[in-house]
Structure 1
Amino acid sequence: MKIHKLSDVLSTNIGEGTSIWQYSVILPKAVIGKGCNICAHTLIENDVTIGDNVTVKSGVYIWDGITIEDNVFIGPCVAFTNDKTPRSKQYPEMFLKTVIKNGASLGANSTILPGIVLGQNCMVGAGAVVTKDVPDYAVVVGNPAKILKYIEK
């Protein structure tokens, strides 16, 4: 495990071979698997689980309630959300759960609304706004994101 001295890593649940770069903040209850690359300027909250061999590019904030399975790519500045009706100083009892399945790839600046499942090996195009579940092997683009095609298995 490699943790840059300019990061603030409070979790001890980080797998072997994972790299965490400068200006990253990882809260104490976060779980991060083996062989991950957590790039600079990222935030990972407490109720977050990240599998093995995941890449999280710069400018990504992973909020409570998000689960990321193995071999997922999260492009720069992907925006996750976890509350459908956010209000200042008013917090839900439990945040909505979002799951990114094995092998999914999320393009730069895509936005993922809360409570969504992104299927196995799906691809989310850059800048897409995902408002509903994405099937396995689907490629989605646009706002709102729509299926462009399916990737061969």
Structure 2
Amino acid sequence: MTLIYNLMLIFNGKWHRLKAVFWYRFLFKKIGKYCVIKNPLKITPESIILGDRVSIGNNARIEGVQHYEAEKFDPKIILNDGVTIQQNLHLTCAESIEIGENTAIAANVTITDIHHPYDDIHLPIEQQNITTKPVYIGEECKIYNNVVIMQGTKIGKHCTIGANSVVSGYFDDYCVIVGAPAKIVKKYNSETEIWEKI
């Protein structure tokens, strides 16, 4: 039984890699080597650039929004080399979202560069024009389960974001970020070479 299970795992991994090579490479704006994309819910490949060795888990929604209400957009989603994403990512982009090399994203994470204004009380919120601000996540970060990353957020290199955090704003390199709203609770001191509480 274990042998059959292991063979199924090997076949399943190879199948998703073959799909990337023989199917997705004709659809994506650019796709690197050794990428794996497992059973996405929704994906708009014409808006996406993948580096090498990018792995996207099951049920991902990675959507470039090209028009909303009366406005048109030119979304750019960039997942650099070595980005790994677990199941149920919800990423919506109308302007720009970039994730740096070797960043790991856990399950059920939301990332968006879109805000739905609620200024006009005579219109439902979903029917009002959206606003956008680019999102950038630096290299070598670890983003834990159920994190929400909002429009205009910039996260530096080698940051850890704790589970269930709601992240908005600018965060330096080498930080531990937690909470809703998220705040820096630790930062690496390059002089003492110690992670220090803030």
Task: Give the TM-score category using the shorter length.
Answer: 0.7 to 0.9
CA distance in structure 1 between the partners assigned to 2:60 and 2:166 by the alignment = 20
Q: Which moved more, 1:62-71 or 1:119-128?
A: 62-71
Match of 1:40 in 2: 58
Secondary structure of 1:41's aligned partner: coil
Q: Aligned-pair distance for 1:52?
A: 0.4
Match of 2:135 in 1: 98
Q: Over aligned residue pairs, what C-alpha RMSD do you find?
A: 2.2
Matching residue's letter, 1:59: N
Long gaps (5+) in structure 2? 1-15, 65-75, 118-124, 191-198
Long gaps (5+) in structure 1? none
Q: Name which of 85, 110, 113 aligns with 2:150.
A: 113
CA distance in structure 2 between the partners assigned to 1:106 and 1:22 by the alignment = 21
Q: Aligned-pair distance for 1:36?
A: 0.8
Structure 1 residues 114 and 78: CA distance shift in structure 2, 3 A: same
Instruction: Tell me the matched-pair count.
Output: 150
Paired residues of 2:92 and 2:114 also in contact (CA < 8 A): no
Q: Percent identity?
A: 27
**Runs of 4+ with deviation above 6 angstroms:** none
Match of 1:19 in 2: 36
Paired residues of 1:13 and 1:29 also in contact (CA < 8 A): no
Match of 2:49 in 1: 31
Paired residues for 1:70-89 under 5 Å: 70-86=101-117, 87-89=125-127
Matching residue's letter, 1:102: E
Q: Which moved more, 1:56-65 or 1:99-108?
A: 56-65
- 2:80 matches 1:51: yes
CA distance in structure 1 between the partners assigned to 2:17 and 2:79 by the alignment = 16
Paired residues of 1:106 and 1:123 also in contact (CA < 8 A): yes
Secondary structure of 1:52's aligned partner: coil
Larger RCO: 1 or 2 (CA < 8 Å, sep 6+): 1
Match of 2:8 in 1: none
Structure 1 residues 75 and 151: CA distance shift in structure 2, 3 A: farther
Matching residue's letter, 1:18: C
1:43-79 residue CA offsets vs partner (Å, 9 max, x unmatched): 2223211100000111112221211111111111111
CA distance in structure 2 between the partners assigned to 1:39 and 1:112 by the alignment = 19
Q: Aligned-pair distance for 1:4?
A: 5.0
CA distance in structure 2 between the partners assigned to 1:131 and 1:138 by the alignment = 14
Paired residues of 1:11 and 1:26 also in contact (CA < 8 A): no
1:88-112 residue CA offsets vs partner (Å, 9 max, x unmatched): 13333x6210000111111110111
Q: Which moved more, 1:101-110 or 1:61-70?
A: 61-70
Q: Aligned-pair distance for 1:82?
A: 2.0
